[in-house]
Amino acid sequence: MIRRNRLGDAINLLPIISAINKNYPDIEINVLANKYNSHIFEYCSAINHIHVLNERSWLGQNFFFLNPVIRKLKKESFDVVIAFGGYTSRLAKITYFLKAKYSVGMGSNKFFFDLIYDKAVITNKAKFKSQMEEMAILVKAARLVIPKKLPYTSLELLKRPNEGWLAICPDVKRKESQYPSNLYGEVIEKILKDKKFKKIGLFIADSKSPYISLTRYGAEHIKTNNLKDFISALSKYHFVIAAEGGSAHIAGALGLSVCVISGTKNQAYWSPHAEKIKNFINPISVHKIKPEALIKALYKF
């Protein structure tokens, strides 16, 4: 299986991998990922081998056939390769150089890269309720059977969340989902005043994030060095407020109670597939999401 990027997409793939392993226990499952998301797959015991591809080495995507990882995997003569990640020429090239006996990927019905796959799946994304539904179509095209209703995402980690600990993960690249610092501040001040939570941790990329200002409201900046550190530290919390994206997916897969802030129109499609998730969506402006609504949702979990 190939899943190159995006933390949330990698996490959404875990239930599918587990379902394949459950139905076909004799199948050896290999995952080809990049350095950015490869650590996510380490939390899935259904995976036999994880291979990390540096796409920028060996002159980039046009010379994948020279990449030592691709050359090694080519010798495995895989029975099936499933390319997850939508239609991209880069994904098609990786699939081509792996030389599997049978390959499946998303097609476009427009470009010659469709011819690379033995089965190019052409779909209308609008008809799917979630990303997992769309990925399941690729599994079906690979002649594998998995349940229509898949389990929630899960990072297989021994979790000991502290009751009364709240994490805030505000960083997000999409401007439409960037909730204002002053509104986060209102949430923090109200919660501290009510004494409902014992600790509020602030998880941001680094001290250069504009959200470092939330420490002035009473949040504690939790420093982490890498993805593993972040997952380990976040697992100690019980409640989370997160902007849509990787942090929200990780929190959901840890089984935490999560309020997700989003300004994207198709948040339902991208939403974490987790049990304790409440989405707060306003495509016009996330500024209109009231702090009181977030606080009320936290208290109701």
Model confidence pLDDT, tens digit, residues 99-123: 999 999 988 877 777 788 999 998 8
Q: Is the pLDDT of residue 98 over 60?
A: yes
The token pair that represents 205 in the structure block: 């990329």
pLDDT in tens, 34-72: 888 999 999 999 999 999 988 766 566 667 777 889 899
Q: Rounded to whole angstroms, how far apart are CA atoms 205 and 247?
A: 11
Averaged pLDDT of the chain = 92
29, 1, 9, 27: which is closest to 91 by C-alpha? 1
* Helices first, then strands: H and E counts in the chain: 10, 12
What is the per-residue pLDDT for 6?
81
Kindly state which CATH superfamily the domain 2-141 is placed in.
Answer: Glycogen Phosphorylase B; (3.40.50.2000)
Dihedral angle of Cα 37, 39, 44, 46, to the nearest 10 degrees: 80
Q: Average pLDDT for residues 240-263, to the nearest whole number?
A: 97
CATH number for the segment(s) 162-300: 3.40.50.2000
Q: Poorest-confidence range of 57-66, 78-87, 211-220? A: 57-66
The token pair that represents 29 in the structure block: 């499952």
Categorize the per-residue pLDDT at 1 as very low, low, confident or very high, splitting at 50, 70 and 90.
confident
Sort 115 into a burial class: Cβ within 10 Å, 0-12 / 13-18 / 19+: exposed
What is the per-residue pLDDT for 123?
82
DSSP 46-71: T-SEEEE--TTSTTSGGGGGG-HHHH
Categorize the per-residue pLDDT at 5 as very low, low, confident or very high, splitting at 50, 70 and 90.
low
What is the per-residue pLDDT for 198?
93
Based on C-alpha coordinates, what's the Rg of the chain?
20
Fold match between 2-141 and 162-300? Answer: yes
The residue extents of the domains of the chain are 2-141, 162-300
Q: Rounded to whole angstroms, how far apart are CA atoms 134 and 127?
A: 9
